[in-house]
Amino acid sequence: MSGGSGGLVKTKQGLVRGARERAVYAWKGIPYALPPIGKYRFKPPHPPEPWDGIRDAARYGAVPCQSDGYLISQFGEKSYVMSEDCLNLNIWSPAADGGKRPVLVWFYGGSYVSGTANAPLYNGASFAERGDLVFVGVNYRLGILGFLHLGEIAGEEYAASGNNGLLDQIAALEWIRDNIEAFGGDPDRVTIFGESAGAASVATLMAMPKARGLFHRGIMQSGSHKKIIDVETAAERARWALRQLNIPEKEWERLLLVEAERLVELTAAAARQQVEFIPLVDGVSLPEHPLTAYGKGAARDIPVMMGTTLDEMRLMYVYDPHWADFPDDEAALEWFDRRFGPFPDEIKQYYVHLDMPGEPFAHKLIAMLNYKSFELPMQQIARRQLAHGAPVWLYRFDWRGTGMNGLLGACHASELPYVFNNLDAPRARILCGDRMDGELALRMHRAWIAFARSGDPNTPDLPHWPPYDLQTRARMIFDTNSEVRNDPYKEERLLWEAHDGMD
């Protein structure tokens, strides 16, 4: 297999022609697996079939089936095609010249129910141009189509169906292993990274035997192993879905005929009832919980960079017009405790008495959720990796924009425009407002490039960023003036540890 002249590349399946984009080349919508439709719905991905002639790869392929709202926020308008035939990937590279460049593979977030690698925010041209590396964005199945566990209902053939979205990602990594050299990439220097559910994907892939050797470094942005359920929970959710569709269990095959739009609607209805279709420990594709696997050293050879944003959970609240509509502070505290707790009284009192002048009271309780939902799980991973000598770097994104008149702060996903150096994407303006820090974007962008190139995020334009350890707990704080701080959550950390919050 060889690289091509300009945008023409020979893959194992056939020739693809990309297009010049800025100073690099882009190939879009390349299938890495068979379309998961008809008899292949709810099945693990199958290798793609070869094609004759030259496949046009100048335009994006279909996005995974999902509700339109998220996509409109990403694209600014409905300029996309949605289909179950969505197992495709996008590549940006300086040249298809066999150059053996590092490869950076992106898995988008969206709670496993929304998202696409085609979003303008995830354009990889700047990574390829500024980092002299190969960037790959992967589309994978979502919602019920990607994470419906039918193993207890449909038998062994569907034993891993609840992790199909992750198996899609593995199939993409296998395709990258077999083809990326033709695009100027090195299959032996692959870094996977993602945000939110994309970061959770990275955390889970690090524990999946089938993914071993397909990547060599991992970056987790605001996500972890938390989105994992057990077989019993997954099976009950599958039965719930069948009930909603009025399909008896013994007639489960009727699921193969249900319109994809109906399954998207059902995924959305499930979310409103806190019924999530997410990865599970199925004993087949994922033999054990990721934390257990890390504890045994399963990812000891994988350098990891992980981080959070200062105000993660604000994104989940301030878009709701009633997000702060509590009759008084006590009612707000009771609601948060009932919905997300129970929280120990000492922890609740710590956050209730935080000094946050000018902020709504609910922001104090959101800070409590930030720590529980994002910081604690990240620390759990870090401790296990460090126990086996794996290099770990931690960061926090503190830069606050003007999104929602400043209410969003440094919310969940607000670091993405900076990591990608794509400050003009429609979603960037929604998250960060009109005021942007271009210098901060370049500093973060270069740190991610450095990690992909060497497994170390240090660059000349940042203060020295030491690896994380349990003595100093050094962490890079990304802001207008970035700096390293030791143990920035010390008081909170000790409080949570005192209440057995670490494990």
Cβ(139)–Cβ(64) under 8 Å?
yes
353-379 CB burial, b ≥16 within 10 A, e <16 = eeeeeeebbbbbbbbbbbbbbbbbbbb
* Residue appearing with tokens 């009950």: 236
Nearest to 101 by CA among 127, 137, 132, 136: 132
**d(Cα 292, Cα 84) in Å, to the nearest integer?**
34
Q: What is the pTM of this model?
A: 0.96
pLDDT tens digit sequence for 1-49: 444 456 999 999 999 999 999 899 999 999 999 999 999 999 999 999 9
Active site residue 312: yes
Cβ(417)–Cβ(445) under 8 Å?
no
Helices 490-498 + 345-352 axis angle, to 10: 160
pLDDT the model gives residue 200:
98
What's the one-letter identity of residue 460?
P
**d(Cα 90, Cα 73) in Å, to the nearest integer?**
20
Q: Which domains does the chain have, with CATH numbers?
A: 1-302 (3.40.50.1820), 309-503 (3.40.50.1820)
pLDDT the model gives residue 323:
72
What's the one-letter identity of residue 482?
S
Q: Is 427 helix (H, G, I), strand (E, B) or coil?
A: helix
pLDDT the model gives residue 79:
79
pLDDT the model gives residue 1:
40
Return the DSSP state at 1. Answer: -
pLDDT the model gives residue 2:
44
CA atoms within 13 A on the CB side of 272: 6
In order along the chain (503 residues), what is the average pLDDT of each group of 10 residues?
68 97 96 97 97 97 93 79 97 95 97 96 97 98 98 95 98 98 98 98 98 98 93 97 97 97 96 94 97 97 97 83 82 89 91 90 91 94 97 97 87 96 90 91 98 98 97 97 96 89 60
pLDDT the model gives residue 321:
72
**d(Cα 58, Cα 389) in Å, to the nearest integer?**
43
- Helical (H) or strand (E) element with 126: helix 125-131
Return the DSSP state at 60. Answer: -
Nearest to 393 by CA among 450, 311, 434, 442: 450
What's the one-letter identity of residue 266?
L
Handedness of CA 224, 229, 234, 236 (dihedral sign): negative
* Residue appearing with tokens 């170390």: 456
Catalytic residue among 21, 412, 414, 492: 412
And the tokens for 127? 């990574």
pLDDT the model gives residue 362:
87
Catalytic residue among 276, 312, 375, 415: 312
Catalytic residue among 93, 111, 161, 196: 196
Handedness of CA 212, 215, 216, 218 (dihedral sign): negative
**d(Cα 38, Cα 46) in Å, to the nearest integer?**
13
Q: Is 467 helix (H, G, I), strand (E, B) or coil?
A: coil
pLDDT the model gives residue 5:
54
pLDDT the model gives residue 503:
66
**d(Cα 28, Cα 92) in Å, to the nearest integer?**
9
Active site residue 334: no
Q: What angle do CA 202, 205, 211 make, to 5 degrees?
A: 135
Active site residue 265: no
pLDDT the model gives residue 248:
97
